[in-house]
Amino acid sequence: MTEDKNVSRLFNSFWQAGFECSTHVLKTGKRLDVVASTSHDVFFEQDFKRLVEVDILTAREGLRWHWIEREPGHYDFSTVLPLLETAERLGIQVLWDLFHFGWPSHLDIFDSAWVDSFGGFASAFGRLLSQEGTGPAFVAPINEISFLSWAGGDTGYLNPFATGRGAELKRQLVKGVLAATDALRAELSTVRLIAPEPVIHIVGDPKCPDDVLQAAEYRSAMFEAWDMISGRAQAELGGKESYLDIIGVNYYDRNQWWNHGETIWRHEPEFRPFREILAEVYGRYRRPMFISETGTEDLDRPGWLTYIGGEVRAAIDRGVALHGICLYPILNHPGWDDDRHCYNGLWDYPQADGSREIYEPLLDVLKQKSFFKSERYVPTSDLLESTRPDLLVSPTLEFRVSTPAAPDEPIRANSARFLCGGAGL
């Protein structure tokens, strides 16, 4: 593969900030609103200015659908417009999540009408961006289909509190992505679509060939959502190669483990280097990629980000088209289940005036990895990275179709830790 000198950066900065924005309902009946619990809804301007001060010019943000569509078909974007306008004024490029685990209470996510409603919501937001936006738009229709289908469809951990329906929920979420993609492109033809999913590695007992085989089969679950969106699996849903545009990779320090066993930490010999996982995903899909979520808690934060930075640099040197690393979350936040103070961001809870204490050791890592600010980070590429895939004739790609597990298979239980996403739940 030769370097394409015409390939431009997808994002304004390689280092990115992720503002945690979950809005799902817990078993207790409590609806989370992490944007509010971190006071980012109040202090977003100061938060954006802080990003500029540390040379972060790209940020992930989430729409709070339950606030925007309180009545069916009526959209109030008053919680979004000030943030959008401020980001543009300060030069912050926003990557928007339409759906981050929560939806309005008047909708049943298993009903076919939910797909239509989500498409309508996407269409309304696309119109807003076409009217108010000044630069290229980046939207992730649904964040982590894999996580929600497990947590909400198999274990009943969060909304919609189902069990044994994970495969059904995953199909419904994919339908939502396809509907939202069509709706967004109808309103804003140049929109770029992001598909963020977790990646993992599972190791079987080398003394038990069946366990090794099972671990490999379980591991292939990380491809299911991407395969379904692109039409490589369950083509009856309507997926197409053109629907898979930019791949977001979510990866945390707990995303590798022994089959049905303990976590494999990065100092252990069985730990698979992250650069290999990235190369595998890129080789399978040949799409532009970025690390859409990564981080950990407490004193491990600097070491983990140093590791991720080194692995990403190594992957780029091997030809993987990687365009950014999103530190997620960028703000410490209360734990989902217990409201504990999670020290997993670059900045802490705000003071009354909106100021936030910064975690200097993590900032030091960002400064040390300054080569990502230079032109050197622009990856080698082929045609798919330089042109939006829906504008191309679908290329002939080699891939292995993952066979989705049946709802009663143990894959979801095995995948629990990786599907729970990041630190601080």
Question: Is residue 145 situated within a structural domain?
Answer: yes
pLDDT, tens digit (0-9, with 9 covering 90-100), for 58-76? 999 999 999 999 999 999 9
Mean pLDDT throughout 169-181? 98
How many other β-carbons are positioned within 10 Å of the β-carbon of residue 397?
13
Residue 124's nearest CA partner among 96, 82, 144 is 96
Asked if residue 421 has pLDDT above 70, the reply is: no
pLDDT category of residue 407 using cuts at 50, 70 and 90: very low
Asked if residue 182 has pLDDT above 90, the reply is: yes
What is the distance between the alpha carbons of residues 326 and 105, in angstroms, rounded to a whole number?
Answer: 30
Asked if residue 291 has pLDDT above 90, the reply is: yes
C-alpha dist (Å) from residue 297 to 28, 154, 195, 285, 363: 25, 27, 25, 31, 15
Asked if residue 3 has pLDDT above 60, the reply is: no
pLDDT category of residue 96 using cuts at 50, 70 and 90: very high
Mean pLDDT throughout 135-155? 95
**Between 383 and 261, residue with greater pLDDT:** 261
C-alpha dist (Å) from residue 278 to 171, 294, 316, 365, 423: 25, 13, 9, 21, 21
Please check whether residue 305 is in contact with residue 343, taking contact to mean a CB–CB distance below 8 angstroms. no
Both structure tokens of 269: 């010999």
Share of the chain above pLDDT 90, in %: 83
Question: Is residue 100 situated within a structural domain?
Answer: yes
Question: Is residue 7 situated within a structural domain?
Answer: no
For residue 200, give the amino acid letter. Answer: I
Mean pLDDT throughout 34-39? 98
Mean pLDDT throughout 396-425? 36
Question: Is residue 9 situated within a structural domain?
Answer: no
Question: Is residue 365 situated within a structural domain?
Answer: yes
Q: What are phi and psi of 114, to 5 degrees?
A: -60, -40
- pLDDT for res 4: 33
Q: What is the CATH number of the domain that holds 105?
A: 3.20.20.80
Residue whose structure tokens are 């309304």:
124
What is the distance between the alpha carbons of residues 118 and 417, in angstroms, rounded to a whole number?
Answer: 28
What is the distance between the alpha carbons of residues 30 and 423, in angstroms, rounded to a whole number?
Answer: 20
Question: Is residue 424 situated within a structural domain?
Answer: no
What is the average pLDDT value for the chain, to the nearest integer?
Answer: 87
Question: Is residue 5 situated within a structural domain?
Answer: no
What is the distance between the alpha carbons of residues 288 and 378, in angstroms, rounded to a whole number?
Answer: 11
Question: Is residue 217 situated within a structural domain?
Answer: yes
pLDDT category of residue 5 using cuts at 50, 70 and 90: very low
- pLDDT for res 395: 30
- pLDDT for res 138: 98
Both structure tokens of 332: 């410490």
**Coil/strand/helix, residue 343:** coil
- pLDDT for res 136: 87
Q: For helices 301-317 and 274-285, what crossing angle results, to 10°?
A: 50
The Cβ-side half-sphere exposure at 17, using a 13 Å CA radius, reads 29
Provide the domain count of the chain: 1
What is the distance between the alpha carbons of residues 103 and 89, in angstroms, rounded to a whole number?
Answer: 30
Range of the domain at 317: 15-419
Asked if residue 29 has pLDDT above 90, the reply is: yes
Residue whose structure tokens are 């543009």:
88
Using CB atoms within 10 Å of the CB of residue 23, give its burial: 0 to 12 exposed, 13 to 18 middle, 19+ buried.
Answer: buried
What is the distance between the alpha carbons of residues 210 and 205, in angstroms, rounded to a whole number?
Answer: 9
pLDDT, tens digit (0-9, with 9 covering 90-100), for 348-361? 999 999 999 999 99
pLDDT category of residue 416 using cuts at 50, 70 and 90: very low
pTM value surpassing 0.85: yes
